[in-house]
């Protein structure tokens, strides 16, 4: 299974980081999980829980059953927060809008990965 297990957490780690950094909401987390269930033959059962997740962002890993590492740097997490600001979410205590958007602009790989991971979310262009 590509990126959805403890042994290979690349995809689920990025999804959880995107959710915890407020770049997507509960409904979008559920939509992503539903799309994985529809396309992955042997999907992990935690995807069923994520389809209708209503817990806190800080405890979403409990629904997964493990804390998947994202492999992202602090700067890359700020780029995800830049996506949140770009989408009209915020404000956030840890970083301001202008700084987060500047970091996002400097990290096009995060924007690209977000668009590949969540193709159903259309990101607006940066202001």
- Residues 18-32 pLDDT 10s: 999 999 999 999 999
Q: Identify whether 127 is part of a domain.
A: no
At residue 125, does pLDDT exceed 90?
A: no
Q: Identify whether 2 is part of a domain.
A: no
Number of domains in the chain: 1
Please report the pLDDT score of residue 87 as a whole number. Answer: 96
Q: Identify whether 80 is part of a domain.
A: yes
Contact by Cβ (8 Å): 26, 53? yes
Domain residues for the domain of 32 are 10-117
What element of type H or E holds 10?
helix 10-20
Q: Identify whether 123 is part of a domain.
A: no
Q: Identify whether 125 is part of a domain.
A: no
At residue 1, does pLDDT exceed 60?
A: no
Q: Identify whether 5 is part of a domain.
A: no
């Amino acid at each position: 299974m590509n990126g959805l297990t403890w042994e290979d957490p690349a995809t689920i780690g990025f999804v959880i980081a995107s959710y915890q950094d407020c770049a997507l909401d509960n409904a979008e987390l559920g939509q992503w999980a539903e799309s994985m269930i529809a396309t992955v033959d042997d999907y992990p059962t935690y995807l069923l829980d994520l389809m209708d997740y209503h817990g806190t962002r800080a405890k979403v890993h409990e629904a997964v059953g493990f804390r998947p590492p994202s492999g992202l740097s602090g700067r890359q997490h700020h780029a995800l927060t830049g996506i949140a600001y770009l989408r009209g979410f915020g404000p956030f205590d840890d970083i301001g809008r202008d700084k987060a958007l500047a970091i996002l602009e400097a990290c096009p790989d995060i924007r690209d990965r977000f668009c590949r991971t969540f193709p159903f979310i259309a990101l607006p262009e940066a202001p």
